[in-house]
Amino acid sequence: MLAIGGAMRENYTSVILDRERAMSLGMADRQGNLLDDVDRFLDEALDEASIYAFLHRERGALFPDESFADLFDERGRNSVPPSVVAVVMVLQRLGGLSDREAVERFSFDMRWRYASGVGGYDTGAWTSFAHTVLVDMRARLRSSERPNRIFEVALGAAKQAGLIGRRRVLDSTPLYDAVATMDTITLIRSAIRGLLKVADPGLAAELVGVLKSGDDYASSAKPQIDWDDEEARAELIDSRAKDGFALVMALSGRELAPPVKEAATLLLTVLGQDLEERQDGVFAIAQRVAPDRVISTVDPETRHGHKTAAHGFDGYKAHVAIDPESELVTATRVTPGNLGDAAPAAELLADLLEEPAGKEPAGKEPAGKEPAGQEPAGKEPAGQEPAGQEPAGPVAYGDNAYGTGELHALLERSGITDRLKTQSPVAPQGRFSKDRFAIDLEAGTVTCPGEVTVTIRRHRDGSGTAAFADACATCPLRDACTASPSGRVINLNRNEEALAAARSRQTEPAWRDDYRATRPKVERKLAQLVFRRHGGRRARVRGRIRVNADFNLLAGAHNLARLARLGVRSTPAGWSVA
């Protein structure tokens, strides 16, 4: 314990976040200690497939200190070896731990010390370090050219071992934000307070002079009024709105420092999204919801989202692509919660979209031979290929959220076999759905169930409409078709042909069997990723960039644990499955 206490007194608590003081790359001891009791005990006690044994054995191949050299200066006080910090970050994400908890585990859990390669407490190696070392490493990675290098290293090892094939399954899951959702008054007052905070003393004094409500905006607490009094609430909204607009007008036309400009833009966004000015000049809450509504000034990028019609949440969406054979994550993205699932799909499939036609991925075994340690894979069922023929190129799977016309068309242009499920047309109250109409895109016509044919009217963006108008007035099938006084209108997507082809494919038994056998694997992987509430389902940080980096690290940590279970080892020739 004295050794531990002495080492802890010599850590970097006071300087690790002082970026003005240079810090050079610290190097871990690569010799090891054959006499170390901790290493000898855990060599025998741990399963070879455990993440601790894997990191202990492969730490040098995965995270050589030199691979982090770009994060540090050439001169200065030595850092904690990045290979040690990287291992702690991986184990932290797997355990869903805070920075302080992770450093405590490193200090007192022999398995963490074994995985980090520092051994016991009498080896002269690192016995502890400040929790701010983890904060500093994340900041250095985030500002580097390769912020996701831990994930990239794990994925690179998997590819070299032949574990990454040419199939991808896409899905997303909600990530709850790390801030409180604000109501309109709290948003306005918080945005005003933020603007006054970033303004220099002279500008701040000038801005305070235009405020007329009597609120000094010093406290984050709501003003003390009778909240059951409708007139008092209306007066509060009007007065704070006028304060906000007065500040914006005072700054209009000026050359502003970036922080002030950002705060003023946020204030104007908050004022414009929730308020409307009545004819009497009083500002009131608008009876609508802005499509991209800011819900917090603490994290302006978080949004109201819906994973389903019945399930709403506040935060972000985490998107993943996985290889269904190895169940390894191949790509991640984090978007605001209100963005559709298909929006980042092209980024998730970037490796397949950029792959030349007919090329096998790096490390992939020749056709007919499966990588060691895997079960033989069955042949792909028919999709865009002739019945019974295995897809010659890559394949993408996804649920209805990914079945957009644009994504179907992209996959077709890129030569990727399409296993994206597409929503079947529906109509209210059991009336005729769109698939009951005969759509002839070549002739540019649509024929209804009553055998009336109309011409498609094309729009500039390539979409179109077919309006039956007066023909519906005397149609005997009207009640089963539409309740609109102006008649039935069929809307056509600009990629209607791709949507129609996708709906046709998914009716084939072989397509359905392959989809049902493959797509659910991504659900299991997402459940593993968000199993821990802290840092899993609920974000640990604020801002999309930070949440994105944190989720990418989480996926990288799970990939490393998966590599350990699959028996992947480094060899002089590269990575392989034992």
Give me the long-range contacts of 372-376 (CB less than 8 A, separation at least 24): 372/576, 372/577, 372/578, 373/566, 373/567, 373/577, 373/578, 374/163, 374/325, 374/326, 374/577
Structure tokens at 158: 């998997």
- As beta bridge partners, residue 418 has 396
Total Cβ atoms within 10 A of residue 156: 17
Write down the pLDDT at residue 392. Answer: 63
Helical segments of 402-470, H only? 405-414
Q: 């295995």: which residue's tokens?
A: 390
Structure tokens at 403: 């079945």
Total Cβ atoms within 10 A of residue 284: 16
* Region class of 73: left (phi > 0), else alpha (psi between -120 and 50), else beta: beta
Total Cβ atoms within 10 A of residue 124: 12
Write down the pLDDT at residue 124. Answer: 58
CA atoms within 13 A on the CB side of 494: 9
Q: E strand or H helix at 473, and its extent?
A: none
Write down the pLDDT at residue 447. Answer: 95
Complete DSSP assignment for 243-301 = HHHHHHHHHTT----HHHHHHHHHHHHHHHHHEEE-TTS-EEE-SS--TT----SSSTT
DSSP-derived letter for residue 164 is: -
Write down the pLDDT at residue 1. Answer: 35
Beta strands of 79-163 (E only): which ranges? none
Query: Which residues of the chain are modeled with pLDDT < 70?
Result: 1-21, 31-35, 122-126, 356-392
Residues in the chain: 578
**Which residues, 6 or more positions from 249, have their beta carbon under 8 angstroms from its beta carbon?**
210
Instruction: Locate the domains of the chain by residue range.
Output: 2-147, 184-285, 310-378+404-411+506-559, 428-500
Distance of alpha carbon 563 from alpha carbon 561, whole angstroms: 5
Distance of alpha carbon 411 from alpha carbon 404, whole angstroms: 11
Instruction: Please check whether residue 167 is in contact with residue 273, taking contact to mean a CB–CB distance below 8 angstroms.
Output: no
Question: For residue 77, what are the CA distances in angstroms to 17, 25, 69, 103?
Answer: 13, 8, 14, 21
DSSP-derived letter for residue 570 is: E
**Which residues, 6 or more positions from 86, have their beta carbon under 8 angstroms from its beta carbon?**
62, 63, 68, 137, 150
Instruction: Please check whether residue 330 is in contact with residue 170, taking contact to mean a CB–CB distance below 8 angstroms.
Output: no
Structure tokens at 498: 């791709």
**Which residues, 6 or more positions from 551, have their beta carbon under 8 angstroms from its beta carbon?**
175, 318, 332, 334, 529
Pairing type for strands 283-285 and 395-398 reads: unpaired
In degrees, to the nearest 5, what angle opens at C-alpha 74 toward C-alphas 68 and 78?
70
Query: Could you read off the pLDDT of 71-119 as tens digits, one per residue?
Result: 999 888 889 999 999 999 999 999 999 999 999 999 999 999 999 988 7
Structure tokens at 303: 């949004």
Write down the pLDDT at residue 10. Answer: 43
pTM across the whole model: 0.87
Q: 């649920």: which residue's tokens?
A: 399
Write down the pLDDT at residue 343. Answer: 95
Report helix angle 149-160 to 82-95, nearest 10. 90
Write down the pLDDT at residue 557. Answer: 97
